A and B are shown apart, each in its own frame.
Chain A
Amino acid sequence: MALTWEIQEISLDPIPDSFFNIEFPAGTRVYDEILGVNYTTY
């Protein structure tokens, strides 16, 4: 299967660590394996 990646931007800017810790928007049903619970964000 033919596959092409077109890389439009390459950034060397430092990315803050917080970038890798997304927050769920309100109303999201979440399964948290760490806590072992389901919950809905608000």
Chain B
Amino acid sequence: MWLDDRWAPVKAAAVYAHKYKADTQDIMQYFDVNIYRAEPDGTSRDIVESRLVAFDGHVTRELVRVDHLAVRQNRKLMQGFVQKGFISGKFNFAAGDFGPFREVWYMGTKTLAKAFRTGKAPFRLVGPDVREGLHTLIVEGSIPRRDDDPNSKEVRYRFWLCPERGFLPIKRVFTRDGQTWFQQGLHDLQMLPNGAWFPRRISSPADDSEIGKA
């Protein structure tokens, strides 16, 4: 983040909550995000700005508080916005609007279940794999290079699904012409009281050595 005429590392800490009303397309969401200046000693002090955002199923309400004078410029300390529908992609919340839930269970804007069934890339079962003692099934979707477009690239989306952990996608690797451009790993898997599994840590890159350590 550009602060005081220089590029300064920042750290985000957030509270995230969601609640389904009917299904995954009908979701209420809440974000409380604080951006701190990251100090050289590893601590984080001085809130730069904060965003409190809530979508109640109909309206998005956003409260922006900018504490850093240079970032605030001529604006007021606190500004509020009320907007129709869910306002996407403006919350300084790095992984997108569904927070960690989306990180785990989505591919872009689609749920994994939908992406596997109806995405542009047909998915197929590649085979079993064992990762850090966990049995997984590798599924892969691919979009071939187009013969009529010399600039097109072959794209592959590969997921390691873990049946014994609620089919969590404990690793995903996306490649273009064999070059990895995105990867993610789920770690410290925990079974919740409702029987569902969820990671306590989500990392990119995937950091294989930590997968499965509950």
Contacts and interface: CB of A to CB of B under 8 A. Distances in A.
A27 B78 contact: yes
Interface stretch (B1-9, B79-87, B153-161): B79-87
Interface string B68-111: 00000000101111111000000000110000100100000000
Nearest to A18: B56
B145 interface: no
Given A4-B203, A19-B30, A28 B198 contact: no
A5 B29 CA distance: 18
Contacts of A33: 81-84
A3 B17 contact: no
Interface in A1-34: 1-8, 10-12, 15, 17, 19-22, 24-25, 27-34
Contact of A19 (B17, B83, B103): B17
B19 A28 contact: no
A30 B82 contact: yes
B78 A20 contact: no
B201 interface: yes
B35 interface: no
Contacts of B79: 28-31
Given A19-B17, A22-B54, A28-B63, A5 B80 contact: no
A12 B194 contact: yes
Specify which of A3, A34, A35 lies most central, judged by the most chain B CB atoms within 10 Å of its CB.
Answer: A3
B84 A5 contact: no
B162 interface: no
18 contacts: A1-B204, A3-B203, A5-B203, A6-B201, A7-B100, A10-B190, A10-B200, A19-B54, A20-B17, A21-B54, A22-B53, A22-B63, A24-B61, A24-B63, A28-B78, A28-B80, A31-B82, A34-B83
**Top 9 A-B pairs ranked by shortest CB distance?**
A30-B80, A5-B202, A20-B28, A32-B82, A24-B80, A20-B56, A22-B54, A28-B80, A28-B78
